[in-house]
């Protein structure tokens, strides 16, 4: 067996299952889960139709690079969304969802023979970053987030000695679990560090189309273009249809950026066997070509967050995020319990599931930045999320009265 497998930590939802062992939720309350970030709005019918109308594709082996029409759909969307002009032949690739791509990209980039390589990632973070680093033969370095800036990462705390050994940096903007969006000045800082130390930046942007301000979140490639880095040197962005179009089961997204990195990634993927099904390609072309369903989806989230956030803000330290579909709430000190105890007691009393924030972070620089926080995924319909919020309010009030 690969000895690196022993370094992997249990996934947050496995830890949650263990935490809830022995708990019998009250039958008087229907179960409501705010735990998993799985989109639950209906999949648009035209995407389903594109799947069913292209079943003839089952008779063909797909090309790893994808059909030209698919790559053109990617670059057309990038032009509309970010005003970027990328070459569909050399600067984009289809991937089977951002999770698969984030993991396999690290295997492409990391050179374990070069003196104890490091992979820098946010803390809290998406656990695939950590697993990808470990199985590529690198060591994760957890860059702490700043609660005073909506848990945006404080890159200034990363020592030069760490950057010198860094081969890959994962950034997530809008962030999971906090929803923080990186501004242009922050991107400029990371590009300068990348130029100085030579590491690659992997920009996870799967939440980019769910936002609450008038201006859409800045993307990594967009930031590079604004700063005159039109070759996107050492930068790859990862984009997915899962959240944008409510198709997590489709497993479809794309990567874009530095042509040299795309070429190497394509070589890896050719051997990895990660070509996208022709049927999925057809549905993806349809999805990337339509924005109306995205606008409607975003409006549903805005309505939902506008209703739920004020309810919870009355009893918890929680605020509307910049983007994404999570609330990152602090467990009230008056309860005298940590985030895991809060999650277990809430399930036991009101049959509502939330994810302990400490499960999404690591102890680093003397603290776990997810401690005393819980992540709530507002992915169900508005009425169900509002009901969950009311139960949480009752739970807190019943224990602090």
The string of pLDDT tens digits covering residues 128-178 is 999 999 999 999 999 988 887 778 898 999 999 999 999 999 999 999 999
* pLDDT attached to residue 365: 85
The residue-averaged pLDDT of 276-287 equals 97
Predicted pLDDT at 142: 96
How far is the C-alpha of 153 from the C-alpha of 124, rounded, in Å? 9
Q: Give the pLDDT confidence of 16-32 residue by residue, as tens digits.
A: 999 999 999 999 999 99
Region of residue 233 (left: phi > 0; alpha: psi -120 to 50; beta: else): beta
pLDDT value of position 398 = 94
Confidence class for position 179, pLDDT limits 50, 70, 90: very high
In this structure, are residues 121 and 130 in contact, taking their beta carbons and an 8 Å threshold?
Answer: yes
Give me the chain's average pLDDT, please. Answer: 95
- Write down the pLDDT at residue 145: 87
For residue 184, pLDDT over 90 is answered with yes
Sign of the Cα pseudo-torsion (245, 284, 132, 205, in order): negative
Nearest to 46 by CA among 289, 399, 310: 289
The pLDDT-based confidence of 74 (bands split at 50, 70, 90) is: very high
Q: What is the pLDDT of residue 147?
A: 80
Long-range pairs, 15-19, Cβ under 8 A, ≥24: 15/359, 16/343, 16/353, 16/355, 16/356, 16/359, 19/340, 19/343, 19/344, 19/356
SS3 73: helix
pLDDT exceeding 70 applies to what percent of the chain?
100
Residues 6+ apart with CB under 8 A from 193: 155, 163, 199
pLDDT at res. 378: 97
pLDDT of residue 150: 77
Residue 117's pLDDT band (cuts 50, 70, 90)? very high
* CB environment 105-121: b (16+ within 10 A), e (fewer): bbebbbeeeeeebbbbb
299 vs 115 pLDDT, higher one: 299
Query: Residue 327 above 80 pLDDT?
Result: yes
Contact predicate 129/119, CB 8 Å: yes
Tell me which DSSP letter residue 361 carries: S
**At 368, is the pLDDT very low, low, confident or very high (cuts 50, 70, 90)?**
very high
Given this model, what pLDDT does residue 89 score? 97
pLDDT of residue 347: 97
């Amino acid at each position: 067996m690969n000895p690196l497998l022993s370094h992997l930590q249990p996934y947050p939802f496995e830890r949650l299952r263990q935490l809830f062992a022995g708990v019998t939720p009250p039958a008087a309350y229907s179960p409501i889960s705010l735990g998993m970030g799985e989109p639950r709005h209906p999949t648009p019918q035209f995407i389903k139709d594109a799947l069913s109308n292209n079943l003839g594709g089952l008779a063909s082996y797909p090309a790893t690079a994808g059909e030209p029409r698919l790559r053109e759909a990617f670059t057309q969307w990038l032009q509309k969304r970010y005003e970027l002009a990328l070459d569909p032949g050399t600067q984009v690739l289809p991937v089977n969802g951002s999770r698969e791509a984030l993991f396999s990209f690290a295997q492409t980039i990391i050179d374990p023979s070069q003196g104890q390589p490091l992979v820098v990632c946010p803390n809290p973070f998406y656990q695939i970053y950590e697993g990808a680093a470990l199985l590529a033969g690198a060591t994760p370095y957890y860059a702490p987030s700043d609660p005073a800036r909506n848990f945006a990462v404080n890159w200034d705390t990363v020592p030069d000695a760490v950057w010198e050994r860094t081969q890959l940096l994962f950034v997530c903007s809008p962030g999971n679990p906090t929803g923080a969006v990186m501004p242009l000045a922050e991107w400029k800082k990371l590009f300068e560090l990348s130029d100085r130390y030579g590491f690659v930046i992997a920009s996870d942007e799967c939440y980019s189309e769910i936002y609450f301000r008038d201006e859409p979140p800045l993307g990594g490639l967009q930031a590079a273009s604004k700063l005159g880095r039109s070759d996107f040197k050492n930068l790859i962005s990862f984009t997915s249809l899962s959240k944008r179009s409510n198709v997590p089961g489709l497993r479809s997204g794309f990567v874009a950026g530095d042509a040299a990195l795309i070429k190497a990634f394509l070589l890896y993927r050719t051997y990895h066997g990660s070509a996208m099904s022709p049927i999925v390609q057809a549905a993806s072309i349809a999805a990337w070509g339509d924005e109306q369903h995205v606008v409607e989806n975003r409006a549903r989230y805005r309505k939902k967050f506008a209703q739920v956030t004020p309810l919870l803000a009355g009893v918890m330290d929680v605020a509307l995020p910049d983007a994404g579909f999570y609330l990152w709430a602090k467990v009230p000190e008056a309860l005298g319990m940590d985030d895991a105890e809060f999650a277990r007691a809430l399930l036991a009393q009101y049959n509502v599931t939330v994810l302990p924030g400490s499960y999404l972070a690591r102890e680093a620089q003397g603290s776990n930045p997810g401690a005393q926080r819980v992540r709530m995924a507002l992915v169900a319909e508005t009425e169900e999320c509002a009901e969950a919020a009311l139960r949480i309010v009752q739970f807190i009030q019943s224990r602090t009265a």
